[in-house]
Amino acid sequence: MEKRKPSIPQFKAWKEQGRKIRMATAYDFSFASLVERSPIEMILVGDSLGMVMLGYDSTVPVTMEDMVHHTKPVVRGAANTFIVADMPFGSYNVSLSETMRNANRLMQEGGADAIKLEGGEGVLDLVAALTSGGVPVMGHIGLTPQTASQLGGFKVQGKDAAAAQQLIEDAMGLEEAGAFAVVLECVPAPVAKMISEKLSIPTIGIGAGPDCDGQVLVIHDLLGIFDRFTPKFVKKYATLNGTIIDALSTYAKEVEDGTFPGPEHSFGMVEEELQRLY
Ligand code: KIV
């Protein structure tokens, strides 16, 4: 079946129908083109690119320039997939006008269909201003990697009743402020279930159990390419790093022993022309 970019109202309708939303990250044209050819309907150009593409230890060093730079090729590679781009650290904590300008850049220059930003009650005014300014916003609560150090590291959030209650209120606040979906990261499954039942907008889980309205994974994790560390919530659907290293090693060996390039990868010349050279 031909793929068509879903609309924001469609995501809400899918939640009502119990149809799960499938999302994966992508950061370049090649991977976006592969996602485009799969049934996955949403791509996140996540600031996780700081770790898997740029080799930083966290998402904090990622800049607006990085995000715009990586969003553009994803949009070129996946015309029929809904594309959400992350607002990086520092792009929405200075002023409302700078936040608006940065969000506009991700949509106008980058070509994203929506933006995502991290936080609960502290960002509700921003979310309301962005959505009333025409920028579709996906929220992100629970473990928020940009502020992981304030949370005591990369840990499950909302484990006691008070913290879980705060997450529920944050999620409801985001819906009220106009967010069209909310990512729940590293949240106990029963809390994510409760939030998903309370909201009329979809929840997208990562480490938040099976009852969210959709799921998201970092593409380098799910394909088994990134192996610096593997969070508990990651399922590897392939181990491509092994496949890639094997292919590179075979190439290296064939160059060394002269097997590559063979005649089928080389260009010949008309014999007469060759003779004229001698
Ligand atoms: O940047 C990212 O990839 C994310 C996901 C982990 C949700 O925010």
Each residue's pLDDT tens digit, 215-241: 999 999 999 999 888 899 999 999 999
Mark whether 147 and 262 lie in a shared domain. Answer: no
Cβ atoms of 85 and 71 within 8 Å: the answer is yes
What percent of the chain has pLDDT above 90? 95
Residue to substitute in 42, 59, 83, 84 for testing ligand 1 pocket (most ligand atoms within 8 angstroms of CB): 59
In a domain, 205, yes or no: yes
Mark whether 151 and 96 lie in a shared domain. Answer: yes
Mark whether 216 and 261 lie in a shared domain. Answer: no
Mark whether 268 and 172 lie in a shared domain. Answer: no
Q: How many residues would you count in the chain?
A: 278
Would you state the pLDDT for residue 104? Answer: 98
In a domain, 216, yes or no: yes
In a domain, 1, yes or no: no
Mark whether 232 and 264 lie in a shared domain. Answer: no
Mark whether 128 and 264 lie in a shared domain. Answer: no
User: What's the whole-model pTM score?
Assistant: 0.96
Cβ atoms of 25 and 70 within 8 Å: the answer is no
Distance in Å, CA 185 to ligand 1 centroid: 8
Mark whether 189 and 215 lie in a shared domain. Answer: yes
Nearest CA to ligand 1 atom 8: 46
In a domain, 219, yes or no: yes
**Domain span holding position 270:** 243-275
Specify the long-range contacts of residues 49-53, CB closer than 8 Å, at least 24 apart.
49/25, 50/88, 51/226, 51/228, 52/27, 52/218, 52/220, 52/225, 52/226, 53/27, 53/28
In a domain, 195, yes or no: yes
In a domain, 3, yes or no: no
Mark whether 25 and 130 lie in a shared domain. Answer: yes
Mark whether 253 and 139 lie in a shared domain. Answer: no
Cβ atoms of 202 and 21 within 8 Å: the answer is yes
In a domain, 48, yes or no: yes
Mark whether 227 and 249 lie in a shared domain. Answer: no
Distance in Å, CA 127 to ligand 1 centroid: 18
Nearest CA to ligand 1 atom 3: 46
Would you state the pLDDT for residue 227? Answer: 86
Distance in Å, CA 53 to ligand 1 centroid: 13
The reply to whether 176 belongs to the active site is no
Give the CATH number of the domain where residue 140 resides. 3.20.20.60
Mark whether 226 and 258 lie in a shared domain. Answer: no
Structure-block tokens of residue 89: 């650290």
In a domain, 45, yes or no: yes
Name all residues whose Cβ lies below 6 A of ligand 1. 25, 44, 46-48, 86, 140, 183, 185, 206, 216, 218
Distance in Å, CA 266 to ligand 1 centroid: 44
Mark whether 175 and 262 lie in a shared domain. Answer: no
Residue to substitute in 22, 31, 44, 56 for testing ligand 1 pocket (most ligand atoms within 8 angstroms of CB): 44
Q: Which of 2, 121, 185, 272 is catalytic?
A: 185
Each residue's pLDDT tens digit, 137-193: 999 999 999 999 888 889 999 999 999 999 999 999 999 999 999 999 999 999 999
- The number of distinct structural domains making up the chain is 2
Q: Which atom of ligand 1 is nearest to the CA of 46?
A: 1
